[in-house]
Amino acid sequence: MKLLPVILVSLLAGLAGGCCTAEPPPVAPTLVARVFLEALPPEQGVAVTLPVSGVRLSIDPRPVLLEFDVAGAELVPTEFGPTLQLNFTPPAARDLYRKTAGAQGRRLVLSLNGAAVAAQRIGDPVTGGTVLFHPEVRAEELPALLADLRRTTAPVQAKQTRKK
């Protein structure tokens, strides 16, 4: 009988300690990159507006490239300032070539988390699986944008590699 109060106190202390949960670790922001093709007037498109220039575009609602197609990203210095270079997987590069071969004069539109941030006019079919975009964000925001994009695409690409 003398042992019963000791057991009860120990049990209550153990339960009280178990109720205290730690803060969950902060979740890193994800940045989902998708590339769309500009729609021509007879086509049904979705209206988007670039954030700084205010350029209004109509894009095909089906993306040409998805976040799973991005193999890498980097900032490249150009005469117009830093540019975001997206590198695509070999299958995506082939699709991009086919889509852009008949789309000279249209624009590729980069969307990040559903918001259009850049448009690049198609002069020639895209070969090599690389596209340069000039995102309409402040230059000092580009390194953080790149880090978020890399953080998002790296696990996706690792998962795709493991499936093969």
Instruction: Specify the range with the lowest mean pLDDT, choosing from 24-38, 70-84, 102-116, 131-145.
Output: 24-38
Residue 1 burial (10 A CB sphere; 0-12, 13-18, 19+): exposed
Burial of 2 (0-12, 13-18, 19+ CB in 10 A): exposed
Rounded-to-integer distance, Cα 22 and Cα 11, Å: 21
Can you tell me which residue has the tokens 């993306």? 63
d(CA 23, CA 27): 12
* Domain regions of the chain by residue span: 30-163
CB 86 within 8 A of CB 33: yes
Closest CA to 77 of 126, 134, 119, 118: 134
CB 96 within 8 A of CB 65: yes
In contact, 143 and 21? CB cutoff 8 Å:
no
- pLDDT per residue over 63-99, tens digit each? 999 999 999 999 999 998 889 999 999 999 999 999 9
Render pLDDT for 27-43 as a digit per residue (tens, 0 to 9).
556 889 999 999 988 88
- May I ask the CATH class of domain 30-163? alpha beta
